[in-house]
Chain A
Amino acid sequence: QQQVKQSPQSLIVQKGGISIINCAYENTAFDYFPWYQQFPGKGPALLIAIRPDVSEKKEGRFTISFNKSAKQFSLHIMDSQPGDSATYFCAASKSFGNEKLTFGTGTRLTIIP
């Protein structure tokens, strides 16, 4: 019940296109869903996060869509740029207390010119 399934494992998108990464969770107690971006040799950086009281959150070119009934959430990167090439991890946890994050397996995104 603690798993977070992430797909695809890798993704190649043309510059200017939309990159979409999907995650599904099982634990209905989860109510905090962040996305992290990680470049090679660096620590993950918090990109954007959402709670179930909204179905969508947008920050610049990054949008999280959330479907509570399906227990799914996704990251959309609009106007994808070569600098977005990185590994993206979704995660989930309870929002209160010192809860650990349950991470997805990661998606390696490559933006080609």
Chain B
Amino acid sequence: GAVVSQHPSRVICKSGTSVKIECRSLDFQATTMFWYRQFPKQSLMLMATSNEGSKATYEQGVEKDKFLINHASLTLSTLTVTSAHPEDSSFYICSARWGRIYNEQFFGPGTRLTVL
């Protein structure tokens, strides 16, 4: 149980285009999902916390107009990178909070974004 999927797994786009990444909890309902960004050989950097039916909470320094997050249902959250530029190239990973009591979070497989 507690499986999280992401789509697409890999995307290459041209500079200036927008890219949408989907995060789904497959076998549980997640009221909270988290979006991370990870650079090579570095730790996970939290970008935002996404709660179902409400606006996402962004971490300091993350541009909310550039990284649009929508959590429309208990099993789906999306991250849209708007007007992507090469510096947005990174590994984006979502996680979904599963534990009703403890803060158990399960991660998706990640999306590799390359902006040319």
Contacts and interface: CB of A to CB of B under 8 A. Distances in A.
A98 B48 CA distance: 12
Interface string A84-102: 0000010001111111110
A54 B25 CA distance: 30
A49 B104 contact: yes
Interface residues of A, number: 26
Given A44-B93, A98-B31, A100-B46, 13 more contacts: A41-B91, A41-B110, A42-B109, A43-B6, A43-B107, A43-B108, A43-B109, A46-B105, A98-B51, A101-B34, A103-B44, A104-B43, A108-B41
Nearest to B50: A98
Contacts of B101: 95-96
A36 B46 CA distance: 15
8 contacts: A43-B4, A89-B43, A95-B102, A98-B32, A98-B49, A100-B46, A101-B103, A108-B41
B43 A103 contact: yes
Interface string A28-58: 0000101010000111111001010000000
Name the interface size band of chain B.
20 to 34
A42 B6 CA distance: 11
A105 interface: yes
Sorted nearest first, the 7 A-B pairs with minimum C-beta distance are A43-B107, A98-B32, A43-B110, A95-B102, A43-B109, A44-B107, A93-B103
